[in-house]
Chain A
């Protein structure tokens, strides 16, 4: 059992958890993930480690409630327990002093881009962060990024905060300003990562994305997370999760991630109905 020592919403539907897992805290490197199972009947889902604190033996996970499991996880409060947290899994981010590096996070992807931004800065890079959200309340970790990076650009789709537009527009603006960019990391929704790849491709800037396929064991045993990179099949859990953005077949990734959509919707629907029933019951008791 893994205790949640802090739980707070940091954006609508996005919750930050600090979880006791001392061994993982000690071992984890930027870019690695854990597999979490929240209860006996639960599924195993991968979540990238956003941060860790060695002295307290904790790791930080930032979770966007999308499907049943993430929504149910986001119902958890400080003091609650998660039955299984395993990791750190996957290859750490490849970090070196590239020169000038841009770390781009889209929505909750910022949580995943953040530790790599920290590592890039520590390796000596001039580090620029772009963190995008639909609107102001969806921009997360801006202060944390400001503490680490040389430049930070929040962007919003609706212009309610920071740069008005997509992260790719801001990225292009920076590249076209004449600054020599040596490395780009992009983490977020698949359309965003694909758009970043297409933005940097003509410039030949080395660009890395962190893939988020469906996983079961997370150790290479099932092959469910396979993706196509450079025309070859890879297992994201052991060969990744980070890959050369210009080589990733994003269409296959998108399609495979939608494979269980019908069942996921059913599961979520049942979960919401049960929640509503419970709320009604609680109201009757009162």
Chain B
């Protein structure tokens, strides 16, 4: 195989991810993507040209040595490939599933300039799954103990990646989590069908094996303040609490019964397992045979609408004020949603929610939009078309238009600088905040973003915290 020419490599088509049949999967919560077989993975890996200047790496927020690990896959050395990825990314089973590779590594891929890029994400996922299922997770080396203690606030992607790096650097690490279960948005937000919770649990267990201590039911700000953590022997603190304050649209009828934030809907279903009600005590509004509208065009909106379909929705709509080109959700998620029968109502914006005599949602007034000139975000600004209002009958609405910043840390930490949106201000190279010894990263700094960006911030912070502690 080593002798295969680049021309022959280019002839191999991009391998297709096996998926659960749409008609079947919209009735269950099992993972949609089934993962590459060894055969598919090797074929896909052979497509890589092994460029002397692997630009794909530039597209990766954490700099995974993509060309090296892909080569190891093509040679069948999956353990080697896993070790190679883990030099830069502690959570490949998660990133292989939820990273927007098409905008990152795969967007840079040279093969992709002429044809379809290498399926880096699918290969990463294959390697991580293979290691977990057939080899067992390798235990990275941990340096001698430094005697320094770091508190990590939040057990989502930023917190976990920071904790993983710091423990390997020899520091003692305690992760504080507000909820009763670890994993943050990976657990309460992203549904099982996109990221099986078992994978998150295995990753967390491996951090525990390395010596990371986890404390649940710890709302920093209330249970302990940041200052108290510093006074109680922590030499540095990493704040990775996520965004965690859902935006609403501030339109009439938003507090009617039947209107959820996507956070609440997904938390009820994912974290509290409301889909198993009454075996589990937390209920969620009955979706069966209902008309359900999700407002927004991001990945969370796709997660919510596809969840509602699985809970039995008759008609499940995405309602988005721009066109599908501007949708921030991953192409794969949009495609999966469409395959599952989700209806997209584009260029439409809600004006008000309409309730029945008992205060339950029964409809939404929409206005059609058209795209004008590009706005500050570079996307064409949606403008209402006067007089185009119409009413859509819906039984449930889920608002998935993003998150503001949770106020708890801000209100309880005096000398920490925040911007006007409530995001913590950091030095972008070190993630250091205005408060000595306190670092921050992830959505509380950037506003709602991706898992991999949060993980990247966690790693950057770990390096800076290490420098701070040893200097």
Contact = CB atoms under 8 A, between A and B. Distances in A.
Contacts of A24: 223
Interface stretch (B4-12, B79-87, B264-272, B322-330): B264-272
B283 A41 contact: no
Point out which of A37, A68, A221, A256 has the most chain B C-beta atoms below 10 A from its C-beta: A221
A97 B211 CA distance: 50
Nearest to B282: A43
Query: Majority SS of interface residues in chain B?
Result: loop
B43 interface: no
B263 A252 contact: no
Interface string A40-51: 011110000000
A216 to B, nearest CB: 6
B257 A87 contact: no
B231 interface: no
A219 B281 contact: no
A217 B246 CA distance: 13
B263 A267 contact: no
- The A contact surface, by secondary structure, is mixed
B205 interface: no
B255 A216 contact: no
Nearest to B286: A263
A267 B408 contact: no
A281 interface: no
A256 B257 contact: yes
B279 interface: yes
A222 interface: yes
B281 to A, nearest CB: 4
Contacts of B222: 27, 87-89
Q: Which of A37, A41, A69, A264 has the most CB of B within 10 A?
A: A41
Contact of A219 (B178, B258, B260, B276): B178
A181 B178 CA distance: 40
A222 B282 CA distance: 14
Interface stretch (A78-86, A100-108, A122-130, A194-202): A78-86
Contact of B281 (A42, A221, A255): A42
A226 interface: yes
Contact of A216 (B217, B218, B219, B282): B282
Interface string A86-102: 11110000000000000
B287 to A, nearest CB: 12
Contacts of B255: 226-228, 233, 252, 256
A270 B267 contact: no
Contacts of A266: 278
A146 interface: no
Kindly state the interface size class of chain A when it binds its partner.
35 or more
A282 interface: no
Contacts of A226: 248, 255
B250 A221 contact: no
A263 B219 contact: no
B278 A270 contact: yes
Contacts of B436: none
A260 interface: yes
B407 A86 contact: no
A41 B217 contact: no
Given A44-B282, A223-B264, A89 B244 contact: no
B217 A222 contact: no
Contacts of A256: 255, 257
B348 interface: no
Contacts of B267: 216-217, 221-222
Interface string A57-74: 000000000001100000
A127 B359 CA distance: 39
Given A44-B272, A216-B272, A238-B408, A267 B277 contact: yes
A222 B250 CA distance: 16
Contacts of A43: 272, 280-282
B283 A264 contact: yes
13 contacts: A41-B279, A43-B280, A85-B217, A86-B180, A89-B222, A220-B408, A221-B188, A221-B267, A223-B245, A233-B248, A238-B406, A263-B286, A264-B283
Counting from the closest, the 3 A-B pairs by CB-CB distance are: A222-B264, A86-B217, A263-B283
